[in-house]
Chain A
C-alpha cells in the first residue's frame, strides 16, 4: 500500500511526486503534451533548488471502463484504485483535459466524481486544457476551478489553456513556466503538509477514505460530539 501522509519536512530527500491526470485520449494527445511540458518545467525548477522530483502519469482513457463501473458501484477497483493511491501520494498534480462540447471531458469529471472528497485537500494542482478554438478559453476558470475548489485543492493562480494557434505562440511557454513556477514553489515550501498537518481533522472525512488508508484508529478524531454520544454521552450536553 502506498504511503499517503504528506510530511515533506520529515523526508527532505524523497523525490517529490508529481502526478499528471490526462483526460486526453488521442495518441499523441495535445492535452498530454501540454501537461508534459508543465511537468518538465516544474521538475527543472525543483531540481534547480536541489529538490529531486519524479513524474507519474495517469491516463484516464485506459481507465474509462473502470471509472464507469465505479460510478455505478461506488467502489473504485483495480487499476483505477492504483491511480487513486498515486494521487493520494502526490506532492503536486497537473490536470489536463480536452474541451468537449464547451466543457471539460466527461471522463475527467467522472474520474473526479469517484474520488474520496478528502483525497486532494490542500494538494498543489495546475489546471490545464486544450481546445479546438480559443473561444473555449474560460472552461478552466468556469468549470475546473470550481470543481477543484470543492475538492479543497490548492490550484495555482495560473492555469494553462492552449488553442491550436497557441502552439505557435511563445507566450504559451511563458504561461507554462509561470504555472510551473507556482507549482514548484508550493511543492518546495511544503505548504500542503503545513495545512493538513495542522487542521486535517477539521475537514469532513469518510471512514476508509483513500486519502489516509492506514489512518483508521490511530489518526481517528474521537473528540467530536458524535463520538461522545456514541460512548454514552448526552446529546443534550453536547448540543448546549
Chain B
C-alpha cells in the first residue's frame, strides 16, 4: 500500500501572522515539501492543477518533472490533471515526457475541475464537462496504447495518422487514476479500462464515498479485470498531527477557522468526529485511517492533504516528520496485518512492466529514418506491425 500527500497549490494568508507568501515562495516551498516527503519515507507526492488565483499550479507536470530530478524513489502524481479543459493530446505528450524523465515514477489522476470560468477560458463549456472528460480519456488511452491513431470525436479536431511522442517509457503508459466524488460514469470508465479510482475523501461525512467506490469495484469485476477486492482504490484524507491531541486542535484551529472549504456552522471537533478530517495525536490519525479500510475495504493508496490553508512551510515540514516517523510506519504494519491475501498491490511502473512483459525486455520504440514529411508510411517505428497501417484522408 502506498502512503503520500496531495496538494492543491493554494496561496493563503497565514491567519496567525497575516503573512501571505509570494507565488515564488510557495512554488519553492512545494518543492521542499515534495523532497521532504521522500526523505521521511512517503511513497507519493501529488499536485493539483488550477488556472485561477490564489492557486499557482497551472502546470503540475512541470513541477513534477523538476521534483523528479531532485528525488530518487517517490512516485509523482497529480491531484488532479484536468481531463476536461486540457487537450488530451498535450496530456499524452507532456506526461509521457515527464514519465521518461522520472524513470517511470509518475502516474496521473484525472479530474474534471469545478471552477466554472476555467472552461470558457479554455474554449470549453462546463455543461459538457462530463462528456468532455469521458471522450478525452478515451482518446488519451488510445494515444498511449497505439503508435498511430486515427480518431474522431465531438470536442476536438480529428486526428489522422497521429503519433503521440515520446511513446510512454518501456511502452507502458503512466498508471491512470480517475478521480470523482459523485459521478458513476467516471467510476464506470475507470472500471472499464481497469484503471484506478480515487475518491478525495474530503469535506463529506465518513463513508460518504463508499457507494461510489463499491460501484467501481463491482464494475471492475464486471469487466473482467479481477475480483472486486482487486480493484485499485485510492483515498484522500487530511491530517493535522501533534504529539498531544489537544495541541493538534489548538494549532490547527486558526487555519480551520479561516479555511473557506469547511461548513463553519459546525465546529472543528465535530468535523474531526464526523468527517475524514484527522486531527490529533499520531495514534488518533492511525486509528482514523484504519477506519477508512474498515469502511472501503483494502485499498492501494492513501494521500493526505497536509499543505494548505496558509500553514507555514516549517509547520508543514514538521507535520511530515510526524507523519513519516510515527504514523505511516505503524499504518504499513497494521494495514499489512489486516490485508486480505486477495487484495491487489499498489501499481508501480515496475509492476506494470512486469505485467506486460514478464521477464522479457520491454519494447523500446525506435523511429524509422526521417523521410522529410513524417506522415507517410504505416508507422514511424521500426518494429510496428505492418498489418495495421495508418489510414489517411482521401485526397480529392
Contact = CB atoms under 8 A, between A and B. Distances in A.
A73 B265 contact: yes
A122 B263 CA distance: 33
A229 B212 contact: no
A235 B131 contact: yes
Interface stretch (B35-43, B181-189, B251-259, B354-362): B181-189
A81 B135 CA distance: 36
A229 B134 contact: yes
A226 B180 CA distance: 15
Contacts of A217: 214-215, 218-219
Contact of B134 (A68, A72, A77, A230): A230
B380 to A, nearest CB: 25
A144 B316 CA distance: 52
A206 B185 CA distance: 11
A234 B215 CA distance: 23
A232 interface: yes
Given A69-B266, A75-B205, A231-B188, A226 B182 contact: no
Interface in B117-134: 130-131, 134
B54 interface: no
Nearest to A214: B211
Contacts of A208: 182, 208, 211-212
B114 interface: no
Interface string B217-251: 01100000000000000000000000000000000
B269 to A, nearest CB: 14
Interface in A69-93: 69, 72-75, 77
Nearest to A68: B265
A217 B228 CA distance: 13
Contact of B186 (A75, A230, A234): A230
Nearest to A73: B263
A206 B182 contact: yes
Interface string B125-160: 000001100110010010000000000111100000
Nearest to B208: A75
B274 interface: yes
Contacts, number: 78
Contacts of A234: 152-153
The main secondary structure of chain B at its interface with chain A is: helix
Nearest to A208: B211
B184 A232 contact: no
A227 interface: yes
Contacts of B193: 232
A227 B215 contact: no
A216 B187 CA distance: 12
Nearest to B214: A216
A231 B214 contact: no
B204 interface: yes
A143 B82 CA distance: 41
Contact of B274 (A77, A225, A226): A77
Nearest to B137: A230
Contacts of A72: 263-265
A229 B215 CA distance: 18
A4 B138 CA distance: 36
Contacts of B183: 207
A226 B134 contact: yes
A216 B205 contact: no
Contacts of B211: 207-208, 213, 216
A101 interface: no
Nearest to A229: B134
A230 B266 contact: no
Given A207-B182, A226-B130, A232 B192 contact: yes
B152 A226 contact: no
A207 B182 CA distance: 6
B274 A230 contact: no
B354 to A, nearest CB: 25
B153 A235 contact: yes
A236 B185 contact: no
Nearest to B192: A231
Nearest to B128: A235
Contacts of A75: 204-205, 208
Contacts of A135: none
Contacts of B212: 207-208
Contacts of A213: 211
A74 B208 CA distance: 12
Interface string A184-213: 000000000000000000000011100001
Given A220-B215, A227-B188, A235-B134, 4 more contacts: A229-B131, A230-B188, A230-B189, A232-B138
Interface of A: 68-69, 72-75, 77, 206-208, 213, 216-217, 220, 222, 225-227, 229-236, 239
Interface of B: 130-131, 134-135, 138, 141, 152-155, 182-186, 188-189, 192-193, 204-205, 208, 211-212, 214-215, 218-219, 263-266, 274
Sorted nearest first, the 4 A-B pairs with minimum C-beta distance are: A73-B263, A230-B189, A229-B134, A235-B154
10 contacts: A72-B264, A72-B265, A75-B204, A208-B182, A208-B211, A216-B211, A230-B189, A232-B141, A235-B131, A236-B152
